[in-house]
Structure 1
Amino acid sequence: MDEDAAELLAAGTRALGEGDWAAARTCFERANRPGCAAEALDGIAQARFTQGDYAGAIETAERAFLAYRARGQDVRAAMCARFVGYLYGVVHGNHAAAGGWMGRAVRLIAAAGDCVERARIELTLAVVTDDPAARERHLATAVEIAQRHGDVDIVFDAMSQRGLHLVAAGEVEAGMAMLDEALAAVAAGEVRDVVSVGAMYCKMLHACELTCDVRRAEDWLALADRFVRRTGRIPISAICRTHYGGVLTAAGRWVDAEHELLTSLELYDRSFRALRTSAVVRLALLRVRQGRLAETAELLADAEHDGYAVRPQVELHLARGEGELAAARIGRFLREHGESELTAPVLLLLVHAHLGRGDPEAAAAAAGRLHDLAADRPAGLLAALAENAAGLVAADGDPIGHLERALAAFGRLGLPLEEARVRLVLAARLAAGQPALALAEARAALARFQSLDASRDADAATSLLRRLGVRGHSGPRGDGRLTAREQEVLELLGHGLSNGDIAARLFVSRRTVEHHVSNILAKLGLGTRAEAAAHVARRPPAPGVLPR
């Protein structure tokens, strides 16, 4: 290897560590010459991966694998095989190819004896397996090897992975403690590998989304600024944006949530396509909460088997008055996933479903199950959900007390939609005996729904206010004025064009059209594309946008 090429490889490696992907790729491409092609191709593959060029990363890493094998460097070849296997599984959902490449990695690294690289392979094996016992064995082996070789990055990466799986298994406190410790190591600068850091933040966001722990997510994202200043890299990938979008939806930051989820879908379309549905179902939850039911149904059409889809599916059933369907879907979900802290929000939906189908006894039974789950948790989400359910079914003859406790708990948790919905139920309960207080609570609920742009909830609040003697309506967001581009999109909606047709007509991406449609519906106070078409039919057409 000549001296110039060695310097370029070293510079490329430094640039990777600093998060300067473009500079790293340039250095490795310049170093790609006889005698160092394997190292150069390996570096190019890593740079392409971090730049989002996943197909290029796979192709280049496969070439690096062959170059290392030709030189007898089987440890480096094994690491390339691990990388290719991971990408085949996550990007393409090609589990056969992923399994084959991981098999090559395991076989080559086993022949190499004791080395730190084996720890990284064990960590990847823990990611791709669905067997909890096998996952734990791989994680334990990865940590043992990493500790022996002094690789702190792998130790904390494994800790964060174990933490997430504990949370997913219902051991929330123990899992969150591990995730907190791992991210404390990131904040302190103990973890240097930027890819590991991104994965660790992603696991924290996923855990916070599973548990509706908005406050914890906000705390750690605030501390992420230190990492960004140190590395210049924002640790949010397509997968992270999906979970972040879910957290933002829970936090009531719906404009930001929509941006993250639509961006995630764009990234998935050119990268992690096998995981695209995870963003789709989260966008569906946002849409149903916005009252955009037709869009929700369209998004959920091909998401039947995604576990997260049950919440938007059930909320859609409830919005359509389909209590029987909602209860049946929840029953099937709970039989598969069990009742735990993680599925408790679905139990609250079951209370609503039974009330909607006119079965207060079944609703009370579901509320009782929530109460039992929350028995040893006097605070937090479980307690809030249990108090909410008890208030709905008038448990112990004290619905107002339960609702007031639920209201305070949801406020502490930073869950504004849940807080406002409880406030509206409380207002209805107060209407007969304390009309002035009921009026204040209903107005506060309406203001929150309007700030969130939750149209169906705002309509429900308006309806209650009318029964209380107040005249008014929720109305559209802002002044209803559209931009020139939004006017074009609206006109084409009026002629029945799909988002794909509009994108082709205006030479923009499908996601851009979806963003415009979202803004149009919100600004005009409309709920569906059909309502937008009807709006167009009632006014003269805008010039220059008639279909060709």
Structure 2
Amino acid sequence: MCLRATRWEDSWVGEDQLAAGTSALVSGDWAAAREAFAASWAAAASAAALDGLGQALWWLDEPSAALETRSRAFALFRRDGADRSAAAVALWLAREYRNLLGRHAMAEGWLARSRSLLEDLEDPGSLPGWLLVAESEAVDLGSDGERFSHSLTIARRHRDTDLEIVALARRGAWRIARGAVSEGTSDLHEAMAAATAGEGRNVQYVGEALCTLLEVAGWLGDPGLVEEWAQLLVDFRAAYAFGPLIPFENTSAADLISAFCTSCCGGIYLVTGRLDAAEEQLVRGVHRMTTSGLRPRCLHPVAQLGELRVLQGRLEEAEATLTGFEQDRECAVAVASLDLSRGRPSHAVEVLTSTLMTLQDAAVLAFPLQVQLVDAALAAQNVELARTMVAAIAATAAVTGTTLHRAQVSQAQGRLAFVDGDPRSETLLHSAARDFAEAGAPLQAARTRVALARVVVGRDRGLAVTEARSALNAFERMGAAADADRTAAFLRDLGDRARTTARTVDVLSGREQQVLALLAQGFTNAEIAERLVISVKTAGHHVSNILLKLGLRSRTEAAAFALLRLPRHEAGPSHQPTTRRGSE
């Protein structure tokens, strides 16, 4: 009798805590949800309690534990004959393994398992629509879209607003990738309207919709696509923490966009020339990806960090960053950029053309690769390939209508016109520089000014120097060391002094300033390493960065600079290396 009463009490407690956990999930109180589901599981060991616990763990940014817990819940649902619930969990697992971890084999396994279960269900509800979404995510975005429309029909038939939000967002991205910008934008805004109005049951899909919108805004170079929704989400997110989706720690729309995007890729900072901020976010993103296995749902931080290292002139680090990712489509532009900096234009052409073969039906996705291919083809003296790519990007830009795309086309047309001896080159590059500035892309604007300087130098040396100086100032402010170095060399060839702004130690990191002080005292790299307890290789990297940032050509010039610019107590003679040695 007592045993039966205890079991009844456990069952009652389990159900009560299960209801409390479900309520906490809906309200966004993830910690309370975890506590309630754990109590329910301890009391009754139900599949629903374990599944709820897995969902709470996901929101608490413990995705690995969430995946393991929901996998166990799947097995319990199957044991209990709750195949519809089991299929729903299997579909969620398939999408997370693919989108969050990039484990495609595991994703395919769970996708196949869910497909088998759905075949035997008399009333699967809206789950076939979720299956279509998961299947469509398994192929290139540019090659499939009908599944999204079909899943949208199923969502509306069964009044599953979560599915409707996801299907609308993904169909919008698919349409834009193929050049249907107006229709795709309409889908995305409708998805965001439904998400932010609270129509859905699971706030996860608010994050997914915003992620998709940011991804597309990056394709188009149009941050305005996101800004109004981001402002609304500043208030919306107050009641929620978004787990592995978004670190919502900001209180302004601009900060929200930056936090969301740079937690994945730092792309906005790269475009806007804030290379120091981009480095901080990208290093963090790559570290998170390599230590936890989690990868962003949109842009690849390795690709963006590789591109940043090339801009900084840190080519060995760029190569190390990109090693192992050379075959990733998202990394093709960064790999090609490194190839061009290394003097390997033919390999850059090969990388870009082979990647473009996978994007034949996705003009907007292909656009940045085609822009880069213009540069690579011209460097490889393949003018006809460059001409073909210029025509392709012009056609795409005519459809998207964004200022950034227009600027990129004008820049490419201007460079090609210069090669052809066409006098319109100067006008095209002027237009490109203006549009880049309007689009908030100062790095590209400065690069265009350098191209313009090279075009006009034959007829107007003064104008060429003016344009190049302007660009050099911009590169130095942004920390684009490689571009600054090339531009300074161009100015020296014109008889102009290499640097147009006062060089100060402020451009150096604290460690680099320490190294510079030791250089001024005549220390070798080995002695610097010994004094600072770092490796000789690291000391050499610091010396190279110092020369690059200050526009100096030798250790002797660096020592002279330090004696003039560093405080006397830092730069004065004191050659006393220590005996400790280590690595940094």
* TM-score category, normalised to shorter length: 0.7 to 0.9
CA distance in 2, matches of 1:485, 1:305: 38
CA distance in 2, matches of 1:131, 1:441: 42
CA distance in 2, matches of 1:218, 1:229: 17
Aligned to 2:403: 380
Tell me how far 1:217 sits from its aligned partner: 4.3
Write the mapping of 1:478-489 to structure 2, written as runs, cut at 5 A.
478=506, 480=508, 482=510
Aligned match for 1:293, one of 285, 298, 315: 315
1:280 maps onto 2:302 in alignment: yes
CA distance in 1, matches of 2:20, 2:172: 35
Tell me how far 1:205 sits from its aligned partner: 2.0
Write the mapping of 1:255-334 to structure 2, written as runs, cut at 5 A.
255-273=276-294, 278-334=300-356
- Counterpart secondary structure, 2:115: helix
Aligned to 1:496: 537
1:183 maps onto 2:192 in alignment: yes
CA distance in 1, matches of 2:396, 2:367: 8
CA distance in 2, matches of 1:525, 1:279: 25
Moved more, 228-237 or 300-309: 228-237
TM-score by length of 1: 0.81
Aligned to 1:86: 95
Q: Deviations over 1:100-146 (max 9, x none)?
A: 33333333344443354515632552354327799645434432332
Write the mapping of 1:107-146 to structure 2, written as runs, cut at 5 A.
107-116=116-125, 118=127, 121-122=130-131, 124-130=133-139, 136=145, 138-146=147-155
* Cα pair distance change 1:165/1:242, threshold 3 Å: farther
* Cα pair distance change 1:306/1:254, threshold 3 Å: same
Moved more, 55-64 or 209-218: 209-218
CA distance in 1, matches of 2:266, 2:428: 30
Q: Deviations over 1:458-478 (max 9, x none)?
A: 122323444555424375772
* Cα pair distance change 1:347/1:448, threshold 3 Å: same
Tell whether the 8 Å contact from 1:126 to 1:134 is kept in structure 2 after alignment.
no
Tell me how far 1:309 sits from its aligned partner: 1.9
Q: Deviations over 1:393-424 (max 9, x none)?
A: 33642221101111122122222211111122
Tell whether the 8 Å contact from 2:11 to 2:43 is kept in structure 1 after alignment.
no
Tell whether the 8 Å contact from 2:325 to 2:331 is kept in structure 1 after alignment.
yes
Aligned to 2:467: 441
Tell whether the 8 Å contact from 2:57 to 2:63 is kept in structure 1 after alignment.
yes
1:155 maps onto 2:176 in alignment: no
May I ask how many residue pairs the two structures share in their alignment?
Answer: 524
1:402 maps onto 2:428 in alignment: yes
* Cα pair distance change 1:88/1:429, threshold 3 Å: closer
Aligned match for 1:47, one of 36, 50, 56: 56
Tell whether the 8 Å contact from 1:129 to 1:135 is kept in structure 2 after alignment.
no
TM-score by length of 2: 0.77
Moved more, 35-44 or 298-307: 35-44
- Counterpart secondary structure, 2:112: helix
State the superposition RMSD in angstroms.
Answer: 4.0
Tell whether the 8 Å contact from 1:165 to 1:175 is kept in structure 2 after alignment.
yes
Counterpart code for 1:547: G
Tell me how far 1:255 sits from its aligned partner: 2.9
Tell me how far 1:316 sits from its aligned partner: 1.5
Aligned to 1:247: 268
CA distance in 2, matches of 1:201, 1:355: 38
Tell whether the 8 Å contact from 2:30 to 2:59 is kept in structure 1 after alignment.
yes
Counterpart code for 1:255: D
CA distance in 1, matches of 2:334, 2:162: 37
Aligned to 1:427: 453
Q: Deviations over 1:3-34 (max 9, x none)?
A: 44333222322332333322221221122134
1:5 maps onto 2:5 in alignment: no
- Counterpart secondary structure, 1:308: helix
Aligned to 1:502: none
Tell me how far 1:64 sits from its aligned partner: 1.7
Greater Cα radius of gyration, structure 1 or 2: 2
CA distance in 2, matches of 1:298, 1:370: 31
Tell whether the 8 Å contact from 1:161 to 1:203 is kept in structure 2 after alignment.
yes
Identity across aligned pairs (percent)? 29
Tell whether the 8 Å contact from 2:34 to 2:56 is kept in structure 1 after alignment.
yes
CA distance in 2, matches of 1:486, 1:180: 52
Q: Deviations over 1:308-335 (max 9, x none)?
A: 2221122122222333333333333344
Moved more, 130-139 or 342-351: 130-139
Q: Deviations over 1:342-361 (max 9, x none)?
A: 33333333333344345656
1:69 maps onto 2:78 in alignment: yes
CA distance in 2, matches of 1:485, 1:477: 7
* Structure 1 residue ranges without an equivalent (≥5): 499-516
Counterpart code for 1:224: L
Aligned match for 2:437, one of 390, 411, 414: 411
1:171 maps onto 2:199 in alignment: no
CA distance in 2, matches of 1:541, 1:220: 59
* Cα pair distance change 1:49/1:377, threshold 3 Å: closer
CA distance in 1, matches of 2:143, 2:341: 42
Write the mapping of 1:457-476 to structure 2, written as runs, cut at 5 A.
457-467=483-493, 469-473=495-499, 475=503
Counterpart code for 1:183: M
- Counterpart secondary structure, 1:305: coil
CA distance in 1, matches of 2:102, 2:390: 40
Tell whether the 8 Å contact from 2:175 to 2:181 is kept in structure 1 after alignment.
yes
Aligned to 2:581: 546
CA distance in 2, matches of 1:463, 1:133: 42
Counterpart code for 2:311: R
Aligned to 1:509: none
